[in-house]
Amino acid sequence: MTLKTLVRKYLENCKEQNNLNQKTIKAYKIDLEQFIFFMKDIDAFYKKDEIVRYIQHLNSLNFKVKTIKRKIASVKAFFSYLEYEEIIERNPFYKIKLKIKEPLILPKTISLKDIEKLFEYIYLEKSNYNETSYKHKEIVRDIAVLEVLIGTGMRISELCNIKKENMAYTNNEIKIYGKGAKERIIPIYNKDTIAALQIYETVFYKEICNSDYFFVNKRKKRLSSQSVRNMIKKYCKKINIDKNITPHMFRHTFATMLLDDDVDIRSIQMLLGHSSIITTQIYTHVRSNKKSQIMKNKNPRRMIIVNKG
């Protein structure tokens, strides 16, 4: 069988046997068609040397590292299928050592000055509207959302999917479901955050009662991630913060501020719901001047007094 035929059978298997979604299959198809084009005049496409040549070809293109890794993974999965079906004796990737290092991309945080500016504005804005107006209700909700984002470090998807029965902030906890539907309990003790949630629940009582979710819009539907992004952008524009502040930056800021306050990395991992400590360790790179401050102000040598006669 030709390489093109084998790829077609593999994609059919992905759809029928592995039950992969259309988006994944489409990505596989694009990656494998590129592999077919590269190997169009080569019969021994399953040989190690040809695979290495293809990887070198990908590295020569202007792809991002993540894209290259995905394209290689697609081809590797294809060869695993060929080996399983006994079309080839051995997957050539067994003999190939891949070392593709992704550049370190530091998480973007929000300055304390900008956070204070944002909160001062929105709290003041609330007092400018009549309590019976929807605009007042909307700002009450926006305050509660921002308080939860900066006070818990949860993902925006986690916030928008909080069920009303999982909001037990009066018992100082919120139950959320993170990546992979992993349950996580977030303790919540800050009085401003709790007060913002209590006011929001009172004002939106009817809407919440008619929804499965805690954070809702005026149509009594679940508040969307995009709505929160637009809300943050709107307020930043009004107070002349020209940075593109996103909901996820609140999460990064939460973690970085904890680290700056000498909270250990394992505790931060637990609060953020990271499955691996490696993911959390990225925050140790954000405040590079922290080490300088420690060595300047807390170096153990300062405690040693030597009489040099």
- HSE, CB side, 13 Å, CA atoms: give it for residue 86: 0
Known active-site residue 179: yes
Known active-site residue 191: no
Q: In the block, which residue shows the tokens 């804005």? A: 125
Known active-site residue 155: yes
* Catalytic residue chosen out of the listed positions 8, 136, 220, 248: 248
* Catalytic residue chosen out of the listed positions 71, 126, 155, 222: 155
**CB atoms < 10 A from the CB of 304, how many?**
7
* Catalytic residue chosen out of the listed positions 64, 179, 182, 243: 179
Known active-site residue 229: no
Known active-site residue 90: no
Q: Provide the residue type at 259 as one letter.
A: L
Q: DSSP for the chain?
A: --HHHHHHHHHHHHHHTS---HHHHHHHHHHHHHHHHHTTT-S-TTSHHHHHHHHHHHHHSS--HHHHHHHHHHHHHHHHHHHHTTSSSS-GGGG-----PPP--PPP---HHHHHHHHHHHHHHHTTS-TTSHHHHHHHHHHHHHHHHHHH---HHHHHT-BGGGEEGGGTEEEEE-GGG-EEEEE---HHHHHHHHHHHHHTHHHHHTSSBSSB-TTSSBPPHHHHHHHHHHHHHHTT--S---HHHHHHHHHHHHHHTT--HHHHHHHHT-SSHHHHGGGGGT-THHHHHHHHHS-GGGG------
Rounded Cα distance between 268 and 287, Å, is 15
Known active-site residue 219: no
The size of the chain, in residues, is 309
Q: Which residues are part of the catalytic machinery?
A: 155, 179, 248, 251, 274, 283
